[in-house]
Amino acid sequence: MNRIYIFLFATLLIPNLISAQCFKTSLYFDGVYNAESTSNDHVDISTYGPMSTIESGVSYTIEAWVKRDRISNPGGYERILSKDFIYQFRIIDNQFVGEIGTSSVQTPYPADTLWHHLAFVRNAAQGTLILFIDGQLRATAPDNSTSLPNNNAMVCIGARNNGAGEINELWKGNIRWMRVSKVARYLADFTPTETYVTDSQTLAVWPLNEGYGTSLNDPAGYNTGKIVNATWITESPTFAPILSAQSTAICAGISTRLTASNCTGSVAWGTGETGSSITVTPYTTTTYAARCVSPDGCPSNAAEITINVEGVMPTISISADPGTFIQKGETVTFTANITNGGTTPVYQWRKNGVVVGTNGPSYTDAQLNSGDSIRCILTSNAPCLQLDKVISNELTIQIPELVSEGACGEASLTLNDLPYTEIRWKKDGQYIENPVTSNRGGGVTVAGGNPQGITVVAGSIFVDEANAVYTASNMGILKIEASGREKIVIPSTRQSFLRARDGRFYVPFEDRVEKWEIGDTLGTVVAGGNGIGSNANQLSLGSPVLQTVQVTEAGIIYVLDRGNNRIQRWNPGASEGITVAQGNKVDWLFFVDAAGSLFTASEGTIYKWPANSLNAIPLYNYPNITPLALQGDTKGNLYIPIYDNSLRTQVYRLNENGIIEIFRLEGNHPSNRSIIYSIAISLNGEIHLNADIGGGYSGGVFKYSSGFYPQLSREKYISSETNMVSPNDVFVNENGEIFTAGEDRVQKWLPDSKVGITLAGGNGLGNSSNQLNNATDVAEDNEGNIYVVDKNNHRVQRFGPGSSIGVTMAGGNGPGSAANQLNYPNRFFQDQNKNLFIADGSRVQKWANNSTSGITVVNAPSSYIFVREDTIYAAGSKWGPGVSTGVRLCGISTNYNSDIYLDSKKNILFSYYDAYRTTIYNSSIRRWSPTNEILNGCLMGKIDTLTQSVYTPTGIFIDSLNNLYVADNQRKKIQKFLGTAPTLAAYTSGQYTAEVTIGSRTLTLSAIPGSNVLGLCESTGSGDWGNAATWTCGRVPLACDQVVINTDHTIALADTVQIAGLEIRQNGNLSLMGGNVQIAKP
């Protein structure tokens, strides 16, 4: 039968980590008799001086710590301390004996090889002799001895010396700390001490802890000794426990209680438990171990006890072929693997809790659905069972599904929610190299953070049909529901954005406009994106103003291209924009009404540009005042916030009847002017503002219904409730526990927790062993030790499980470049051999486990470090084993990358963080995929952005499921991004497939988005509408296509058709266009 050994002691019990003071030195006597008896192991003692008084009939005590090296010695004599025929302290025939003259007392000696404290007391006042073992009174006897004359015998430790050259009655074992006193020290039970003190009653004391040499010291005075052949031994602490069990032979699954005795401190079991007794339930023969731990933390040698298991519990596990990740309709065979099922095992298969199949070791099913649960119950008739029925593991079926959905031009292919480890997209059989996906499923805050920590910033504002307000914030686009509930719906922190009536968001950047939907972590380019310029397919937005984008209900996008003094119209799916307004009447404000008319503000005048007209009509002149925004309602009113040279900001309403003031905001100080950044009108006519009153004195979101003044509906600042300090790094262990390092502490977070548990530091910035000063990196090893980079203390600290005291593993000798120093270390990596690779301000060092200095492996400064297969990734380069020059990685700098991590395919994920431009646009997580091409000594790689929904990504971590965790320093939160991209934006028609992988199995799914995908069909010449050859798209236009017809082409129409858009062009110039067009046959 197999045997299990439970020796998994806590860290403090590992011998090489025990403090030196925990090891004890003693003198060992081998007990071997030699023909030349004077060479037998013993110690001769000089007894001149006070020691001689022991013979004069007074009280005395002889005591010592001894460990016998044999359990039994029938008929044998073993002396511990004696002067022949005067006093003797010895073992005779396994009895502990104390003698003085002709009087003696004895008691059985323990049948073991453990340390014991022995004491022999002569109480002259009462005429008794007393023996103690381990502080317990074991025997008494009358003392009939009289004053004894001196003789020539020698006082001897470990043997008998008769003074005539005969050394015999040898002790076999260890002795330490022996004391002789001229007083009866013990008359009742007592607790022995590990060491003895020297006082006025001490005649002699021998610590026996010198550890070397042949002289034995007596700190009490005159009684020194000469060691003959006995050897010094250094060993683990005393008091090894004595283990016992209720029963050492049991059936499998039956519990028994183990007890440890003989410990003066606590007990540490190899199972990780503490206490004098534990209950165990072994299923096979198991050997358990325990140690005593003294009050000062010193562990003893381990004691063992074996529990023999005479039977085992039945077990059952089930597997699936070809697996649980299958195609719809695929046949799966489930097989049960059992042990100890007896002679006639019974199988009961269950699907979603319902009995299926037959009584047999396998079950086959071809009608499985995603989420189905399969189990099997085994009934055993084997002997010696505690339970006759056991339940197998549960197998859950995972069937991938691919769904096409969406409106014209905005179709998407979405996979169902499964833990995919990889997804690759194809179109018409070719891999899509840069798919537009909702990458990594969107970021979710899993630790820290708090909606209550959101700050409203100067930016755009909109109101939806349910009176929910959307405005700019420090964490992204903030939705404030009518109930007051808040949520970040779009992670982009751009101050300028537009929320269209269809619920999509449009965000302008310097050269493009992106469309975002709730749940996206990356936007889709819908206008521009071809670099800054003045061509029809380019934009030059500079720093986009708050009113840069307008979108009609037909999906037509208008862009204020301020750098080119024009307004561009981008039809759905178009690759170029059409100029609809241009010149000095286009400045930095514009609005588009439902009829397609444009309104602009420039040079003191508000202009109207009728639909499809390039001529502007002045509506209102406003000399000496500055408009802040333009916004309209459904009734044709224009709302214009303006400010003049006073402290106030006024809101005006302009319509065909003229202009009137609605309300005003008053500033509270000449330097604190009130200002309105943007304005929104709800369907019920309420006015919502993103504004500051008094330059930040009071600000946020305001709502105006009536009266003279708007009411504050959402303050600008609301304090955060999380206790997370600004995290510099994140680590996730196999249990999913999240660890963060920042400022003066390391914290652990339960899922979705706003309150972290401080594991290390947290005692203010400092350099004590319980303090940290700028913790920048953290990791946990498989023994539960926490390693943390203590940057400003120039060291790496290790905190044991449950310990608040750190041990320096590297550095700690001040800043510098010496081998035993670190210079503001930032990151570290620990390999499987516990070597530490540390990146500091000038180099990367490798510190071997428990070493006191490091060796330089990369002679270049780096803010990050990662090691895989003996290859070091640091300082923007890849360094092979033993090389002095790394291969530079194109596009990975050392300036702005705060952390890197390698995924399972050796792609490098890095957090790009420009400390001088902390905006969402300049901070992101990017992936560098090697191309194996070297150009100008630089290894080429393709870089793509995984997510931009982080503000200051100072640390990243990838778990075993390829999920990405990001430490967002300024927002004080940890975000988790799923390791897959489950949604693909499909803008053109074709055959799409998704190759999805879970574990080792890859499946392929197909979908044809069809009419949900926006296409462009231009006429090739005159012909029939229903003939595919008439169109450049090679097919008959679909309902979601944009159709372009040249005026010199005649198209024959046999029936009414519906298309997404129509353009009529003459000599390449646009003469007519429309959206959502129905064309009737003649």
CA distances from 123 to 140, 199, 536, 959 (A): 10, 19, 115, 73
Give, in degrees to the nearest 5, the angle at Cα 441 between 438 and 446. Answer: 140
According to the model, what pLDDT value does residue 813 have?
Answer: 95
Whole-angstrom distance, CA of residue 920 vs CA of residue 945:
12
| Residue entry with tokens 């600004």 | 726
CATH class of 454-715: mainly beta
Whole-angstrom distance, CA of residue 300 vs CA of residue 417:
54
According to the model, what pLDDT value does residue 675 have?
Answer: 78
Whole-angstrom distance, CA of residue 977 vs CA of residue 5:
41
Please tell me the least confidently modeled range out of 634-643, 941-950, 1006-1015: 1006-1015
Closest CA to 322 of 375, 397, 402: 397
Tokens of 80: 């511990």
Instruction: Tell me which long-range contacts 575-581 makes (C-beta under 8 A, separation of at least 24).
Output: 575/537, 576/536, 576/537, 577/527, 577/528, 577/536, 577/537, 577/539, 578/536, 578/1070, 578/1073, 580/609, 580/612, 580/614, 581/609, 581/614, 581/616
Q: Can you give the residue ranges of every domain in the chain?
A: 4-17+239-304, 24-235, 315-396, 402-437+981-1007, 454-715, 729-977, 1014-1079
Judge whether residue 388 has pLDDT over 50.
yes
- The sheet that has 256-261: what strands, in order across it? 242-245, 256-261, 277-280
- Tell me the range of 20-34, 934-948, 1017-1031 where mean pLDDT is highest: 1017-1031
Give a three-class secondary structure readout of 575-589.
Answer: CCCEEEEECCCCCCE
Whole-angstrom distance, CA of residue 918 vs CA of residue 954:
12
Name the residue with higher pLDDT: 451 or 181: 181
Question: Residue 564: what are its φ and ψ, rounded to 5°?
Answer: -110, 10
**889-898 burial, b if ≥16 CB within 10 A, otherwise e?**
bbbbeeebbb
CATH class of 24-235: mainly beta
Judge whether residue 29 has pLDDT over 50.
yes
Whole-angstrom distance, CA of residue 375 vs CA of residue 390:
11
**What length does the chain have?**
1082
Query: pLDDT tens-digit profile of 612-668?
Result: 778 888 887 776 666 777 788 877 788 888 766 566 677 888 877 777 777 777 654
Whether 315-396 shares its CATH topology with 454-715 is answered no
The DSSP result for 6-40, as a single string, is E----GGGSGGGS-GGG-EEEEEEE----SSGGGS
Q: Report the DSSP pairing between strands 128-133 and 24-30.
A: unpaired
Judge whether residue 50 has pLDDT over 60.
no
Intra-chain end-to-end CA distance of the chain, in Å: 93
- Tell me the range of 370-384, 888-902, 975-989, 992-1006 where mean pLDDT is highest: 370-384
Using 50, 70 and 90 to split pLDDT, how confident is the model at 982?
Answer: low
| Residue entry with tokens 């002790």 | 171
CA distances from 54 to 60, 164, 821, 936, 970 (A): 7, 22, 60, 93, 79
Query: pLDDT tens-digit profile of 139-168?
Result: 999 998 876 666 656 788 999 887 777 888
Using 50, 70 and 90 to split pLDDT, how confident is the model at 919?
Answer: very low
Burial class (CB in 10 A: 0-12, 13-18, 19+), 509: buried
Tokens of 828: 């570290």
Element holding 455 (H helix, E strand) = none
Query: pLDDT tens-digit profile of 791-829?
Result: 999 999 999 998 999 999 999 999 999 999 999 999 999
Average pLDDT over residues 745-762: 82
| Residue entry with tokens 């949604």 | 983
Pick the CATH number of 729-977 from 1.10.10.10, 2.120.10.30, 3.40.1710.10, 3.40.50.720: 2.120.10.30
Give, in degrees to the nearest 5, the angle at Cα 123 between 122 and 127. Answer: 105
Strand boundaries in 546-674, DSSP class E: 549-551, 557-561, 566-570, 578-582, 589-592, 598-602, 605-609, 617-621, 626-627, 631-632, 638-643, 649-655, 658-665
Q: SS3 for 1011?
A: helix
Tokens of 496: 């300028």
Give strand pairing partners of 404: 413
Q: Does domain 315-396 have CATH number 2.60.40.10?
A: yes
Any idea what DSSP says for residue 886?
Answer: P
According to the model, what pLDDT value does residue 670 have?
Answer: 47
Judge whether residue 234 has pLDDT over 90.
no
Question: 0.85 cut: is pTM over it?
Answer: no
Q: Which CATH architecture has domain 4-17+239-304?
A: Sandwich (2.60)
Whole-angstrom distance, CA of residue 291 vs CA of residue 297:
11
969: left (phi over 0), alpha (psi -120 to 50) or beta: alpha
Query: pLDDT tens-digit profile of 1070-1080?
Result: 555 554 566 76
Query: pLDDT tens-digit profile of 484-508?
Result: 667 788 888 888 898 888 888 999 9
Name the residue with higher pLDDT: 99 or 37: 99
According to the model, what pLDDT value does residue 527 have?
Answer: 93
